[in-house]
Amino acid sequence: MNDHDNYIEIENNEDLDKEEVIIERYDITSYPADYTVKGLVDKLENKQLILPEFQRKFVWNIVKQSRLIESILLGFPIPQLFLYKKPNSSNMLIIDGYQRLQTIKNFLENKLSLSLDDKSPWHGKKYEDLSDDDRSVVDDYVIRSIIIRQIRPNNEHASMFYIFERLNTGGVTLTSMEIRRAVFAGPFLKMLEELNKNPNWQKIIGKRQEDKRFRDVEWILRFFAFYLINYKKYKDPLKTYLNSVMEQYQHQHQDDWKNIFNQTCDKIIRALGEKPFHIPRGRLNLAVLDSVMVAIAKNPTLSIEDIKNKYDELKGDEQYINLVTARDTSKTQILKDRFAMTFLKFGVNI
């Protein structure tokens, strides 16, 4: 496992990115469209093509970028693009082809000098250095695009998540939260990312460096998923449930929510200290984190002493420890049982 994937060691009884997801059948149509290179870059500049908001750690090096431009100059075919047309919108989300489009855009903006064999007539050249004929070849080169649209169910585009997950071939497997950042961008996502900078939150999870895969942002999403929605409505798998929460609240942002999260983190640090949910084996236990944090947030009358005493009692309860160390703590009944037990301990009215 890479260091950047493991900077916070967590209990391994959940694996949201590998769990089997059962979804309903979708009615989706796709059709081809041919765009010139110049036309695609114009669409990017006019925001008709939307680049994913996530930033990938692994990007194409100059050699790979140069080979793509060389293929265009030589008239060779390059892989097609996959674009998702949003309902009631002229914009399209780039599902697959981000690196190719960004490379082409960089070249047309003279930000890329081609690194090719010394014998190549284009070695070392930028777009502005090409002959008129070569620039015309690049400008008029046609790239096949597959445009995908969801027909049914109406008023929903959760299918974007699954299509993105299956079609994206950018060279690195994306985490669920990286995909959500592309599919469900909006005020709610921005709020989650702002809250992730809270120093007390970072102390709670034991954060030592930036998580470039946005797992810590997903854990804040978990908090709101069970704070804003009654846990009794939960149904596994957790990945699908979190997708639905992101879609439901995508365009919402409330200062009250930020205040509740920040106040909850402050209370936890004052009552329990740093890394309080690294139990029972010294690794961050997400099942403990979500249930206890939500319980504390939902009962603002709890004193610092109350929180400490009740949490100590909970940690000493064998039944609770069994629930938070089960083989899969995201299963529907296990999750509901741990929330019910935690809420009861912290005096939360269900």
- The per-residue pLDDT for range 261-285, each reduced to its tens digit, is 999 999 999 999 999 999 999 999 9
Whole-number pLDDT of residue 350: 76
Whole-number pLDDT of residue 19: 53
The alpha carbon dihedral of 328, 334, 336, 341 has a sign of negative
Whole-number pLDDT of residue 55: 42
User: Distances in Å between the alpha carbon of 194 and those of 106, 121, 131, 155, 223?
Assistant: 30, 49, 48, 28, 14
CB 276 within 8 A of CB 264: no
Assess whether the previous peptide bond of 237 is cis (omega < 30° from 0).
yes
List beta partners, residue 27.
152
Please determine, for residue 58, whether its predicted confidence score (pLDDT) is greater than 50.
no
CB 227 within 8 A of CB 298: yes
Please determine, for residue 245, whether its predicted confidence score (pLDDT) is greater than 70.
yes
- The SS3 assignment for 16 reads coil
For the chain, the domains span 27-173, 184-345
Whole-number pLDDT of residue 318: 97
Residues 59-101 have pLDDT tens digits of 689 999 999 999 999 999 999 999 988 777 788 988 888 889 9
**pLDDT-based confidence at 125, cuts 50/70/90?**
very high
Question: CA 232 to CA 332: how far, in whole Å?
Answer: 9
Whole-number pLDDT of residue 213: 83
Q: What's CA 44's distance to the chain center, in Å?
A: 22
CA angle 73, 79, 81 (to 5 degrees): 110
Whole-number pLDDT of residue 287: 97
Please determine, for residue 149, whether its predicted confidence score (pLDDT) is greater than 70.
yes
Q: Is 15 exposed, middle or buried (0-12, 13-18, 19+ CB in 10 A)?
A: exposed
- Mean residue pLDDT of the chain comes to 89
Tell me which of 116-120, 208-212, 254-258 is least confident.
Answer: 208-212
Per-position b or e across 304-314, b if 16+ CB within 10 A of its CB:
eebbbebbeeb
